[in-house]
Amino acid sequence: MGIPSHLVCLLRNLYKDQVATVRTDPGTTDGSRLRKECGRAVYYHPPYSTCTQNTSCDMRDSKARVKIAGRNINNRRYSDDTTLMAESEEELRSIITKVKEESAKAGLQLNIKKTKIMATRPIDNWQIEGENVEAVTDFIFLGVKITADADCSQEIRRRLLLGRRAMDNLDKILKSRDITLVTKVRIVKSMVFPIVTYGCESWTIRKAERRKKDAFELWCWRKILRVPWTARRFNQSIVQEIMPNCSLEGRILEAKMKYFGHIMRRQESLEKTMMLGKMEGKRKRGQPRARWMDGILEVSGSTLKELGAVMADRELWHGLVQEVTKSRKRLSD
């Protein structure tokens, strides 16, 4: 890639032979080496690792769970973030109590102030051993907004607002007459669109959200061309002048289908179980909500069984993804 050797040496020495310690009330723990994973330095605290392992073993035998496709799921962990799941308040209390007990054995404490509870029905004055726990209807987890009704429309609107903010920060660059139009389009695609499409693999997109995304993309192109909204120019003339290789909608579909193929090629995984499995119980009366899988089947024009046969051949699946992406090459498609 043409990276200077002194920069490579600098990055290599940044993590070489580094040691980290944790300061606690009794004192400072023994030093442990840092190791680089996924583009960041990861430090494994021995007491924390022991706590999570013991808690995970206890949770397997716990009755607190959410059942999907016959599989009991009660916790999900990512780095130092833990999500607990249960079907009732009593089960949730029991599983949180287990986490507190195992944490106390390792000399750790559960931070109630950072703990949040979200339920499908309103909860007031939720307490754990006399301590109040905040009950919320939505929260940010790993950069994505999670809502109690499992609706991603709020997250899509939030991402579009963040994209507009990023465009405003690039205002001086986009208005510069010393930068060519091709370069400006590349800047938007590399610095704005990734902000908007972050986490789009899990989106269930409806017609209203699709119109908002198209409006945002046209707003970006008009801002680059310095065309005001009062100018009487058709959207197609704007797109023809920009000539984008793929629309924002096409980028999102490509990411969703790549993620779908990646999960479906696995033999056994929790993600595949949650994607194909069904939860116990009955849904509410009324029109069924749009499902994530419905969008994949609609754009591919195939059944789930037919897609399984296509995904067995990577080249054939890659060709199908490219075909679907090109079909959304223009905003009017």
- Are 104 and 70 in contact by the 8 Å Cβ rule? The answer is no
Q: Confirm if 110 and 100 have CB atoms less than 8 A apart.
A: yes
Whether residue 333 is predicted with pLDDT greater than 60 in this model: the reply is no
> Which amino acid would we find at residue 269?
S
Which of 100-114, 119-133, 161-175, 304-318 ranks highest by mean pLDDT? 161-175
pLDDT of residue 56: 52
Residue 113 has pLDDT above 90, yes or no: no
**How do the domains of the chain map onto residue ranges?**
46-136, 152-244
pLDDT tens readout for residues 259-274: 998 888 888 777 887 7
Whole-angstrom Cα distance, residue 243 to residue 135? 48
What number is the average pLDDT over the span 291-315? 86
Structure-token match 């716990």, residue found: 62
Rg (CA), the chain: 24
Looking at the predicted structure, is the pLDDT value of residue 122 above 80?
no
Residues facing 72 on adjacent strands = 67
Task: Please report the pLDDT score of residue 45 as a whole number.
Answer: 44
Contact between 92 and 117 (Cβ < 8 Å): yes
Q: Is the confidence at residue 292, as pLDDT, over 80?
A: yes
- Percentage of the chain exceeding pLDDT 70: 82
At 178, the amino acid letter reads D
Question: Do residues 199 and 256 lie in contact, with contact meaning Cβ atoms separated by under 8 Å?
Answer: no
Token pair belonging to 243: 């000539």
Alpha carbon 276 to its chain's center: 19
Rounded to the nearest integer, the mean pLDDT of the chain is: 80
Q: SS3 of 77, please?
A: strand
Q: What is the torsion angle, in degrees rounded to the nearest 10, for the CA atoms of residue 199, residue 202, residue 206 and residue 209?
A: -10
Q: What is the pLDDT of residues 26-67, one digit of tens each?
A: 677 777 666 554 444 333 444 444 445 445 545 555 666 676
Strand partners, 17: none
For residue 296, give the nearest of 285, 314, 310, 282 by alpha carbon: 310
